[in-house]
Structure 1
Amino acid sequence: MTGPEADRDALLAQAVRLRESGRREEARTQLLALRGEFPDDAQVAYQTAWVHDTLGLEAQAVPHYVAAVAGTGLSEEERRGALLGLGSTYRTLGRHAEAVATLSAAAAEFPEDNALKTFLAMALYNVGRAHDGMRLLLTVLAATSADPDLVGYRPAIEHYARDLDAVEGSA
């Protein structure tokens, strides 16, 4: 491959290396230039969003995340990361309803992703749906914990995840 696409690939890889090595401001500058050159490129948008998030520039990350998830060309792992990043960023910005909507759709698209479910539980709490958030967290905990102190209680945790208000022995 030669030409603009080859340059894009090399510059994108370099920007990712810069971010990963802690040179985030340099990565941001390079990624913003790439976004200008490749405005419809979902991978460039995702990496640009990510670097803004790592710099604490959440509000500036949002449009890049939105472009990334609206576009095509992300791998499944990148799409999951972009959806989680967008939902988490909405939550950080106090845009809780958007966080719930984004993370709910993402959890439906990737039902095995427990990180998405965990961030969704936090967003549910933020919109006043603590019961739903707790239920989701208990479900994730019961399904994923190998902690010997919890494993023996898995059936009880699963029971209460289904009915958190259950009281045994009540008439």
Structure 2
Amino acid sequence: VDDIHFELTIGVGKVVNIKAKVNRAFTSSMEVGISVTCEDLYTGRQWKVCHAFATFVARRTETGKVQLKQVIPRTHMEQIEYSLAAERRRMRLIHAEIMTDLLSSSTAQLGECQEYEGAVPAERTRVESVELVLPPHANHQVSTFGGQIMAWMENVATIAARYPLSACIC
């Protein structure tokens, strides 16, 4: 998971809304965007809590490397997310110095959006979860534990990532 910056707290009795969607699937990895918002049911007020990007990598099988089904962006916002996912991936690889040779010989991946046989529409990977914050989820100051929010985020992102993974060609 990339950096998570909690912008505001969530108190007991508030409703947490977690949304996740696959932004882009590469050969054997994918990026899932996750956003967390909160709602006070008494006032109707809603606010952004945090957002993050999770990277899922398919494991090799006995028969070899896994090939994920591609995700096709349909809307303008999905196309932006698709392009930015490629740039974030490029930055992750540079930072980790994992694929220096590949990056030095490759061209920018921005704007790349090809139709692939059997591709999955990005919208079909969208998942939303709603959680009610209960006392066991919070500290003595009645603020939700960051680890609890991260666990909810991971669960929703894992569900979003399941569709392209379950449809992979092994």
- Per the normalisation by structure 2, the TM-score is 0.27
Higher strand proportion: 2
Q: Which structure: larger Rg?
A: 1
User: Could you state the TM-score of these two structures normalised by the residue count of structure 1?
Assistant: 0.27
More helix by proportion, 1 or 2?
Answer: 1
Q: Give the structure, 1 or 2, with the largest relative contact order (CA under 8 Å, sep 6 or more).
A: 2
